[in-house]
Amino acid sequence: MTLRGRLTTAFLAVVLGPVLLGAFFVGATFAATSRDRSVERLDLAATAVRTSMGALCQRLHAAADAVALAAPEQRVAVANQVVARGLAAAVRFDAFTTPGAPGQPWARCADATPGYQAVSARVEIRDTTGAAVGAVEVAETVDAAFIVRLAGASGAAITLRGGSAHTTESPDARAAVLQAADRVRGDASTGTAGDRYIRRLDGAPGQPLPLVLSVPRSEPQGLYAVLVAAVILAGLVAVLAAWWLARTTTRPLAELAAAADRVAGGDLAARVPVRAHDEVGRLAATFNRMTRETQAYVQALTASRDQLRGHLAVLGDTMSSTHDLQRILRVLLQTAQAATGAHSGVVLLLDQATGVLAAQCAEGLDDDWAELRVLPGSGLLGTVAATGEPRRGRVDRDGPPLAEHEPRCRTYIAVPFARPAPVGDVEPPALGVLALYDRLGSDEFDDADLVTLRTFAGQAAVAVENVRVHEEAQRLSLTDPLTGLWNYRYLKESIRREVERASRFGRMLTVLALDLDRFKEVNDTYGHAAGDAVLAEFARRVRSEVREVDLAFRQGGEEFVVLLPETDARGGAIVAERLGASVRDTPMPIGPEASIDVTVSIGIAVYPDHGVTGAQVLDAADDALYAAKAAGRDGYRAATGGKRAPILEIPVPAGAAPPDDDLPRAGGASPGTQPPRQGRGR
């Protein structure tokens, strides 16, 4: 048989066979496809309903929080304001309910309590000890207008099951929809009601209303007659055209073969004349398009190489000109994406305090990437960090299963990075992971991409280590090497910042100026080594008596300063009493078996009562300290005078215990390290 005859036979077999099979397949699957589309619409509508109800519940819960947090005497006014602003339809607590409240029952957002008249959120009212003393419940009326708005947001008809059965269905369809919903079992189950598909949604936390969603069914009209006519027509056309097409195929094939030989020889400008619009003509057009795209791809590779060089130049400039870790990591990630053609990517660093991998920067991901947290050993990123081995492949084929918050992807490549280790040392644990997702224009990442990403991961490790070294150097420049407290340089910046914060929010700031009594005698009698030990121990006791938000400084010699944000004079006096007792009651160790008794004098000043700038408040605290020294030491004095009316002087209760009252007290330890050496006393 000649080539023309074989092509004719093959054409008829290839064309008519698939046409017949395709006609039967289309007829059999069209109805199922129509149903799937309707079900998909219901899925989207259900998601929209849950999202809308979730947003409503969050708004009601926020309004309930506002009422619960209000002072008891203001709670009614706040509740009426919530209703007046349209944040809710009703608020009730204790024996009070705002006017016009909807009837019972109310469906609660938190536990899906059955109800049809309103949707509500409930928040407990707690006293200062944390004990529940009541509850606030804020509700939004569920009426016909509410159901109409919900249906508008979802794109489907909605019927409320129970109660007044508000609905956007027609009167004829409502009864059929409710009956069909009763036959469906389980939340989010699908059924049919006449010419409609329905989806039943039971009450659940965040969406407490029992609802029925429905969309119309779309059935094929005259599909089978059209399919039969199309098959007959295709058969006639195929038989008539087969011989002619086969006869005209050989010449274009010869031209195509000649052009392919030229391309194989490196001539990407070779083209085939398109003599017809049949399969061979399309093959010739495809060949021409392939050669054009190959030329464009070569040009793109050249441009990509130049672009990569530019990115590398930007990366080098960034790493040499800044210590902004976020900026460096973002430039690294963008450069890695440009080099590999990835659609998206993320860089995670290991939080040493919590042991969790946290996202630092991302490209091409949703806005919630900042919430990405992965435990080592969990999911793809956690596995790479835990094993220290890079991975690439497809999620559906190679795994591992992605963790709950990891980016959804089809293909991936992930490389761990760690700080550089000295020669001969054990490889350090991973500092983080650099991961790219879904390579553009290709199915999977390859080994070349893995080598490239390893290079960028190494750059990320160096960047992280450099930034941490820089931060540690900055920290050391701001701390006192003997006591581990902040130094005088940082005191000036901190008191300025704290005064600005107190002024902006209308708060108070208390400054304590501390000076160890007769410290020069300690140095003269026991030596400077003993003085250093006393200063280091005193700093430790200061840290143990103040809160985490408080700041402790060594101003110089045996002089110290403590900043107490959001603390008044009385609170400062309480802290001063505790600090004095801590020093007075326990001797200071100066050797393995030696200790000495030491006392401290303290001056107290408050912003804005004793000054309107940090320097003024600090000077006032120093004046009060001198007054405490003059009064016999081992006590404290509060500053007098200043910007406002004079503050009554707080008496010096030497050796007194803190008063037994319910005023707020400072507590907890502030960060600091015990340094090894150096100190001076006077």
Active-site annotation, residues = 558
User: 3-class SS at 607?
Assistant: strand
Calpha distance 274→255 (Å, rounded): 10
d(CA 59, CA 661): 39
User: If we measure between CA atoms, which residue out of 562, 584, 560 comes closest to residue 635?
Assistant: 584
**How far is the C-alpha of 96 from the C-alpha of 482, rounded, in Å?**
61
The helix or strand, by DSSP H or E, that contains position 413, with its residue range, turns out to be: strand 411-417
Which residue carries 């089809």 as its tokens? 410
CB of 381 closer than 8 Å to CB of 406: yes
Sheet strand arrangement including 356-363: 373-374, 356-363, 342-351, 432-439, 411-417, 391-394
Q: How far apart are CA 148 and CA 576, in angstroms?
A: 64
Distance of alpha carbon 355 from its chain centroid, rounded? 17
What one-character-per-residue DSSP string does 539-602 give?
HHHHHHHS-SS-EEEEEETTEEEEEEET--HHHHHHHHHHHHHHHHHSPEE-SSS-EE---EEE
Give the span between the Cα atoms of 610 and 508, in whole angstroms: 11
In sequence order, what are the residues at sequence separation of 6 or more whose Cβ sits closer than 8 angstroms to the Cβ of residue 54?
206, 207
CB 436 within 8 A of CB 413: yes
- Give residue 185's Cα distance to chain centre: 37
- Give yes or no for a contact between 464 and 418, defined as CB atoms under 8 angstroms apart: no
Q: Which two tokens stand for residue 143?
A: 């009426």
CB 66 within 8 A of CB 78: yes
Query: Which of 499, 638, 646 lies closest to 573, judged by CA?
Result: 638
Closest alpha carbon to 609 in 569, 643, 571: 643
The 3 state secondary structure assigned to 100-165 is CCCCCCEEECCCCCCCCCEEEEEEEEECCCCCEEEEEEEEEECCHHHHHHHHHHHCCEEEECCCCC
Q: What are phi and psi of 363, to 5 degrees?
A: -135, 135
**All residues at 6 or more sequence positions from 412 whose CB lies less than 8 Å from its CB, including other chains:** 380, 391, 392, 393, 394, 395, 435, 436, 437, 438, 445
CA distance 295 to 269: 8
Contact 636, 604 (CB under 8 A): yes
Residue (of 107, 113, 95, 116) closest to 138 by Cα position = 107
DSSP string over 46-65: HHHHHHHHHHHHHHHHHHHH
- Left (φ > 0), alpha (ψ -120 to 50) or beta: where does 490 sit? alpha
Question: For the chain, what is the radius of gyration of the CA atoms?
Answer: 39
State the Cα–Cα distance between residues 57 and 368, nearest whole angstrom.
21
**Dist. CA 416–CA 372, nearest whole Å:** 17
For the purposes of burial, counting CB atoms within 10 Å of the CB of 515, is it exposed (0-12), middle (13-18) or buried (19 or more)? buried
